[in-house]
Amino acid sequence: MGKIFAVVVVAIAIATAYFIVGHVYWMPEDISVHGHVIDEQIIETTAGAGILFLLGQFVLAAFVFLYGDSKGKRKLKAWPGGAKPLIWAAVVLIGIEILTLSFIGSKAWGAVYFSPVDPSALPIDVQAEQFAFYFRYPGPDGRFGGTHPELIDEGSQNYFGLDPANDVAARDDIVVASLTIPVNKPVLLTLHSKDVGHSFYVRELRIQQDFVPGIMIPIHFTATKTGKYEIVCTQLCGLGHYNMKAYLNVVSQDEFDQWLKGQSSGQ
């Protein structure tokens, strides 16, 4: 029985390692300026934790294999050295691993959250609601209109509660259901929610940030690769959670200007 157990455990450990190392399932290519730091962090952690995982499973398997049922014939041996070496091993090795990971990790974290916002960043207002994202560009006047929750009327596509009748700045605001941004240009999103908690998750950007009702949360990033990507909600927000998504179109500066012109004429 012990031998079977050992073999099974080893087989499972190796299979797992194959799936991870072979990237059978893996992250999509990173398209952000900050993302590579996170990727390196994940690689390092995978290496460190992976070794611990294999060691743990292999040693367990080895002991179960060696010291299986002897029907009481074998003379028992005590682990030489007792607990101290184990404790020290854990404290020193894991301590070192933890500290390095925390150190590199906080650098990666800082790269995302503590980097200053480029003043020329393109401001976009993002509203999450059950169950869609809506994006608002300031329009030609470069100013966002004020929002009034009581004016929200989805029947007429007034998702933000703008007041074009009295608020000139609101008239040329561009409201769309997919996020279009120019490549290699800093973007500043202001996240706010219309109803419940949501989250803004783009795998390729290595960004996940909750929308918290009642709070405006700014995030900024720069996309480095044109293409069409998916924005999905990762915070349980109700029955349509699984279908709460939008597309992120990263386009060249010219295409972006074209698109913007088209939109503002459409408004």
Site for other proteins in 45-64 (CB under 8 A): 45-46, 48-50, 52-53, 56-57, 59-60, 63-64
For the bound state, the minimum distance from the C-beta of residue 123 to other proteins, rounded and expressed in Å, comes to 19
Query: Rounded distance, CA 118 to CA 187, Å?
Result: 8
For other proteins, the binding residues in 123-162 under the rule CB under 8 A are 129-133, 149-150, 152-157, 159, 161
For other proteins, the binding residues in 156-195 under the rule CB under 8 A are 156-157, 159, 161, 163-165, 176-178, 194-195
Query: Rounded distance, CA 232 to CA 43, Å?
Result: 24
Q: Is 69 in the site for other proteins (CB under 8 A)?
A: yes
Of residues 95 and 142, the one with the C-beta less far from other proteins: 95
Query: Rounded distance, CA 121 to CA 223, Å?
Result: 12
Beta bridge partners of 175: 136
φ, ψ at 175 (rounded to 5°): -115, 120
Of residues 159 and 182, the one with the C-beta less far from other proteins: 159
Q: Is 220 in the site for other proteins (CB under 8 A)?
A: no
Q: Choose, by CB under 8 A, the member of 14, 236, 253, 257 that binds other proteins.
A: 236
Query: Rounded distance, CA 110 to CA 102, Å?
Result: 12
198-202 vs 207-211, strand pairing mode: antiparallel
Q: Choose, by CB under 8 A, the member of 102, 184, 252, 253 that binds other proteins.
A: 102
Beta bridge partners of 199: 210
Of residues 178 and 224, the one with the C-beta less far from other proteins: 178
Q: Is 8 in the site for other proteins (CB under 8 A)?
A: yes
Q: Is 264 in the site for other proteins (CB under 8 A)?
A: no
Integer angstrom CA distances of residue 48 from 6, 14, 40, 93: 23, 16, 12, 11
Q: Is 76 in the site for other proteins (CB under 8 A)?
A: yes
For the bound state, the minimum distance from the C-beta of residue 33 to other proteins, rounded and expressed in Å, comes to 15
For the bound state, the minimum distance from the C-beta of residue 86 to other proteins, rounded and expressed in Å, comes to 4
DSSP 153: B
In the structure encoding, which two tokens stand for residue 138, read together? 């300031």
Q: Choose, by CB under 8 A, the member of 146, 185, 208, 255 that binds other proteins.
A: 208
Query: Rounded distance, CA 121 to CA 138, Å?
Result: 13
